[in-house]
Amino acid sequence: MWRASPKETAAFSLFNLLSAAVTPLQIWLSKYIIDGVAAALQLTEGTSTTHLRLIAFLIGLQICLWLASNAITSITNMLVYPLNLKVIHYTEELIFQKLSRLDLAFFESPNFFNLMTHAREESTRRIPNFINNVSSLLSNLLMLITVLIMVANLHILAMLSIIVLSIPHLVATSYFGKRWFRLLFKQTRERRLANYIGQRCLISMMPIVSPAPNKATSKPLPH
């Protein structure tokens, strides 16, 4: 990603970090809003007015964070598409550079041609998913660490409870993810063969249009 487009990769990473930081800030502000409301209900009228102003200020910050979160999400989505195109173009360029240095005998091998076609097709399919998954993983990991630190300030057992409760979901997701990958890997040849046969059948069913006769050449020559 960095070699394909350094500027867009840096901007994309920056907005991912900002997106991950917004949610902990919203949780932190929500905690202070609740504490302010509880304190305002227990104090006198004059002090309660001061607390209400503070609560209104915190609510305003919460709304600003919500607007900033939507803006960051929109900008991140706009950066993803051109970054995917540049990474795909850079990957295909590397593939063609590698192919240009090979001997002609490689291209006469069906296995090599199969691998080459598979590499070109999969690069356009999996690279966008890879970029989205990596960015989501990093932002969610940063968000999780920040939330755990905030929860640990309340009580260490609360943080440990969150970690323990998330372990079964993590184990189940990884287990079924591996099974899904193995299933797709076993069906790769059959799926590609089915796609090839489907394309050949579609081509064979297309009508062959013969060129129209040229009227200028179809006229009899004058004697």
This prediction has a pTM of 0.57
pLDDT value for 39: 76
Average pLDDT, the chain: 76
**Pair 102, 183 in one domain:** no
DSSP 173-191: HHHHHHHHHHHHHHTHHHH
Does residue 174 sit within a domain? yes
pLDDT digits (tens, 9 = 90+) for 179-193: 887 887 777 777 777
**Pair 149, 123 in one domain:** yes
Does residue 115 sit within a domain? yes
**Residues of the chain predicted below pLDDT 70:** 43-48, 105, 107-108, 206-223
Dist CA 161 CA 22 (whole Å): 24
pLDDT value for 212: 52
DSSP 59-125: HHHHHHHHHHHHHHHHHHHHHHHHHHHHHHHHHHHHHHHHHHTS-HHHHT-HHHHHHHHHHHHHHHH
pLDDT value for 73: 83
Q: Please state the domain count of the chain.
A: 2
The neighbour count for residue 106, using CB atoms within 10 Å, is 13
**Pair 111, 40 in one domain:** yes
pLDDT value for 210: 52
Find out whether 177 and 133 touch, Cβ atoms under 8 Å: no
Does residue 215 sit within a domain? no
Does residue 108 sit within a domain? yes
**Pair 9, 82 in one domain:** yes
Q: Which residues, in sequence order, are CB contacts of 150 under 8 Å at separation 6+? A: 24, 27, 28
Look up the domain containing 146 and give its range. 1-154
**Pair 65, 3 in one domain:** yes
Dist CA 139 CA 24 (whole Å): 12
- Sign of the CA dihedral running 107, 111, 117, 123: negative
pLDDT digits (tens, 9 = 90+) for 34-67: 877 777 777 655 556 777 788 788 888 888 888 8
pLDDT value for 215: 52
Does residue 207 sit within a domain? no
Does residue 169 sit within a domain? yes
Dist CA 105 CA 79 (whole Å): 42
Does residue 83 sit within a domain? yes
Does residue 34 sit within a domain? yes
**Pair 162, 115 in one domain:** no
**Pair 39, 139 in one domain:** yes
